[in-house]
Each structure stands twice: as C-alpha cells, then as structure tokens.
Amino acid sequence: MELSDGTVVRRVLDGDVELYRVLVERYRGQFGKYAVALVGDSDTAADAMQEAFIRAYRSLSSCRDPERFGAWFHRILTNQCHDARSKRPDPASLDLVDLPGDDRADAATEQTELGDAIAAALAKLTPEQKEAFVMKHVDGRTYEEMAKLTGVGIDALKMRVHRARDGLREMLGGVL
Amino acid sequence: MSEDRQYSSDAQRYMDGELHAPLSDTEQKDADRLMHAVQAYSEQISAPDSHLDDAVLDEIRKARSRSAGWRWIFEPRAIRLRPVWVPLAAAAIVALVWLGGRPGTSTDLAAPQATALGDTVFVRFQLLAPEARRVAIAGSFSGWTQDALPLVKENGGLWSITLALPLGEHQYQFVVDGERWIPDPRAHAQIEDGFGGTNSVVIVGPRGVVQS
C-alpha cells in the first residue's frame, strides 16, 4: 500500500530520513515536466528541482498540513524555477527558431520545430500564464486539480490559460 | 493584440474540454493546431530521471553528517529544570515580563526578546492587536497547532507570551481570533510559507541572543 504524504512527512521528521526518497520520486514524476517547461531547459530544471527538494526538506517542520505536501512543494518548486529562469540568458527569439515551413524534411522534423516554437513562445508569457498553461496542457490537469495545487480560484486559472492561448496564437500566428 | 488573434469564447471552452457543440471548421482547425503544437512540445520534454533522487538524498545525508555534532542542540526536546534552576528560570521570566510589559505604546512593541538558561532560552513574543478577542501563537515548535499557545492581553491591546524554546531556528505566526494568521510585524526575518503566506523566523542562539 502506498504511504500517504502525511505519513511520510511525519516519519521523516521523526528521523527516518531515507523515506524522503518516496516524496522525491513521487513529485519528480508528477512535477518534472512542469519544471522543465517553466525553466526552459532540462539541465537547469533538474538543478532547480533538486534545490527545491532540499529546501523543502530543510523546512519540513514548517509544512503545516503534511497531507498536502504536494501543494506545498509545488509552490516551493515554482519559486525555485522562476528564480533559475531569471538567471538564465534570454531564450532564443522566435525569429531564430526554425519554424515549420512548406519545405520541411519530414513529419518528425516538423514536430520538433513545432515543439521548439512553443518552447520559445512559452518563455514570453507572464509567469502566472505560463504556470497555468503548462499545468493544463502539458501536465493535463483539470482546473479543479490546478485550484487545489495552487490555491488560486478556478475562474482566475481559466482566465490565465485563455490569455496564455491568445498570447501563443499572437506569437505563433505564422506557425499555427 | 488585434481582435482576430484571440480565440472565441467557444474555442476557449472547446480547448478547456467544456464545449460539446460543434465549432465552425475554421475555429476548430485553429484550436486543434494549437493543441497539436502543445502536444508535440509535451512529447519533446521529459521529467528529470532518477539520478535526481540519489542527488537529493546524498545532499541531505551530507548535511546531516556535517551537523551531527550540533544536532543535539537544535532538536526540540522536553524541558526539565532541576530544582536548583527553578528560581533562576522564574527570574528570567520575570525579567522578560518586565522588559516587555512596560507601559506600552505601539512603538514600544519589541521583536522577540530572549533570556538564556542552560540550553533553553525563554523568548517573549508580543503583538499589538487592540481589537482582537483572542490571540495565539503557532509555529514549528508547537506542530502549528493554532490554539495551544494563547497570548495574554495586557494594557493597551498588547498581547504577549513567554515560551521556553530550544536553541535553533523556529518559524511561527500569530493566530488572531482563531482564524486570521499573521506574521510577526516586528520579526527581522520572514519567509514564504509555501501557501502564499509568510512565516516569521526567530533564531535562538546559545547565549540567549535572539535574531528574529
């Protein structure tokens, strides 16, 4: 049977430090793509995620509701990702990304170029729009799940996602 | 942004998975293109692999190893005072009450003050809240239980409590009327609590010095 977050947190605080790995595995899987999408590259995202897990461990005694460790860690991770992102050089301009064109070599190349174009455009969104859009469309969460994770209301989250879509459409007009 | 660069509300609902009536061909193609592009992006990226788990645990083990010699100082524990210390403890508390309980205006309100006794430090917390019906303090030292440590109301709406805390770093907030969590406005250090709020931080040192 899978241990609940609350059980794991309490046992870690009681000294079973190795059990923290359960939380790391669990949320690396759940939030890994989110971190990569927020930061913009895999290596920097992995560093940010590692630092977020260590910060969470150091502050574990201040996690007021251990059963909601995931939501608490999500906020720490988000802050860490924005911090890491701000220290990176500016992302490639959309003008420099190879946008799919009629002379594309094959479907795989087109997919890659399309993905690159989305990555470059995501980097131009506001942090709130990017967070909401990635949770919705990269992680595939419902608005209810997003609200539970972030503490933000569903209407506000929808507004952020809608604006993000409009922003992407504006930037990627030629591609889409 | 020009109007035609925005998706219609029906198209937005379609992409939200909430519209079951058909869109126009053009709108549906537009929406599907964006969803297709995002799917391509999503398939292109992947979560960090399991090396991250080992790296995190290694860092934690190293940190614990480095702090092993000091850990006994920082771990909370039950406080036992030998009889010989009791008068001194009482004197320390009296001193703190005197320090913090002088006739007060809001400008007299102090950051947490401390008096040391052995490896325990008595820390006095204060909050000016004239309108409050009750005030408690909740923190990492009390498992964040919100009603366990009520403050006492003094003159001028000043609330205070003196706690025996072990050495180390503690996070806390005041709980006003059982529902409003607020950080200590006089604390020198504040930290995000991960839920959009702020915890105050008090660092209790071995000589009774409190940095907060």
Per-residue pLDDT band at A36 (split at 50, 70, 90): very high
Domain assignment present for B191: yes
User: Which of A61-65, A112-116, B89-93 is least confident?
Assistant: B89-93
User: Is residue A132 helix, strand or coil?
Assistant: helix
Question: Which residue from A58, A165, A173 is facing B12, i.e. has the nearest CB?
Answer: A165
pLDDT averaged over chain B?
A: 76
Question: Residue B181: beta bridge partners?
Answer: B175
Per-residue pLDDT band at B3 (split at 50, 70, 90): very low
Q: Indicate the CATH number for domain A1-90.
A: 1.10.1740.10
Same domain? B40 vs B77: no
- How confident is the model over B168-172, as a mean pLDDT? 85
Same domain? B94 vs B39: no
Domain assignment present for B100: yes
Domain assignment present for B79: yes
- How confident is the model over A40-64, as a mean pLDDT? 92
Domain tally, chain B: 2
Supply the pLDDT for residue B110. Answer: 65
Which positions 121-140 of B are in contact with A (Cβ < 8 Å)? 140
Domain assignment present for B153: yes
CATH number at residue B102: 2.60.40.10
User: Which of A17-26, A43-52, B93-102, B157-166 is least confident?
Assistant: B93-102
Domain assignment present for B169: yes
Spatial CB neighbours of A145, under 8 Å, sequence gap ≥ 6: A135
Domain assignment present for B105: yes
Is residue A28 within 8 Å of B48, Cβ to Cβ? Answer: yes
Supply the pLDDT for residue B53. Answer: 95
Percent of chain A with pLDDT over 90: 69
Supply the pLDDT for residue B154. Answer: 83
Same domain? B134 vs B96: yes
- How confident is the model over A154-169, as a mean pLDDT? 96
* Ranges A12-21, A97-106, B193-202, most confident: A12-21
Same domain? B35 vs B77: no
Same domain? B32 vs B77: no
ipTM for the predicted complex: 0.86
- Vertex B83, ends B77 and B86: CA angle to 5°? 75
Q: Which residues of B6-34 are buried (b: 16+ CB within 10 A; e: fewer)?
A: bbeebbbbbbeeeeeeebeeeeeebbeeb
The residue range of the domain holding B34 is: 9-44
Cβ neighbours around B78 below 10 Å, total: 5
Same domain? B87 vs B164: yes
pLDDT of residue A174 exceeding 90: no
Q: Kindly determine whether residue A173 and residue B5, on different chains, have CB atoms separated by under 8 Å.
A: yes
Domain assignment present for B155: yes
Question: How far, CA to CA in Å, does B103 sit from each of B36, B91, B93?
Answer: 69, 20, 18
Same domain? B101 vs B141: yes
pLDDT of residue A159 exceeding 50: yes
Quick check: A83 contacting B, CB < 8 Å? Answer: no
Q: Name which residue leads in pLDDT, A84 or B109.
A: A84
Same domain? B93 vs B178: yes
Q: Name which residue leads in pLDDT, A176 or B80.
A: A176
Quick check: A53 contacting B, CB < 8 Å? Answer: yes
- Tell me the fold of A102-176: Arc Repressor Mutant, subunit A (1.10.10)
Supply the pLDDT for residue A19. Answer: 93
pLDDT of residue A144 exceeding 80: yes
Supply the pLDDT for residue A86. Answer: 86
The 3-state secondary structure of chain B reads: CCHHHCCCHHHHHHHHCCCCCCCCHHHHHHHHHHHHHHHHHHHHCCCCCCHHHHHHHHHHHHHHHHHHHHHHHHCCCCCCCCHHHHHHHHHHHHHHHHHHCCCCCHHHCCCCEEEEECCEEEEEEEEECCCCCCEEEEEHHHCCCCCCCECEECHHHEEEEEEEEECEEEEEEEEECCCEEECCCCCCEEEECCCCCEEEEEEECCCCCEEC
Q: Kindly determine whether residue A176 and residue B42, on different chains, have CB atoms separated by under 8 Å.
A: no
pLDDT averaged over chain A?
A: 89
- How confident is the model over A87-112, as a mean pLDDT? 63
- For residue B193, list chain A residues with Cβ-Cβ distance below 8 A: 62, 64
Supply the pLDDT for residue A150. Answer: 94
CA distance B107 to chain A (A): 30
Which positions 108-127 of A are in contact with B (Cβ < 8 Å)? 111-112, 114-119, 122
CA distance B177 to chain A (A): 19
Same domain? B79 vs B40: no
Supply the pLDDT for residue B70. Answer: 45
User: Which of A58-62, B33-37, B119-123 is least confident?
Assistant: B119-123
pLDDT of residue A169 exceeding 70: yes
- For residue B43, list chain A residues with Cβ-Cβ distance below 8 A: 111, 115
Q: Kindly determine whether residue A36 and residue B45, on different chains, have CB atoms separated by under 8 Å.
A: yes
Supply the pLDDT for residue A18. Answer: 92
pLDDT 10s digits, B49-102: 999 999 999 998 887 766 554 444 444 343 445 556 666 666 665 655 555 444
CA distance B118 to chain A (A): 24
Q: What is the pTM of this model?
A: 0.65
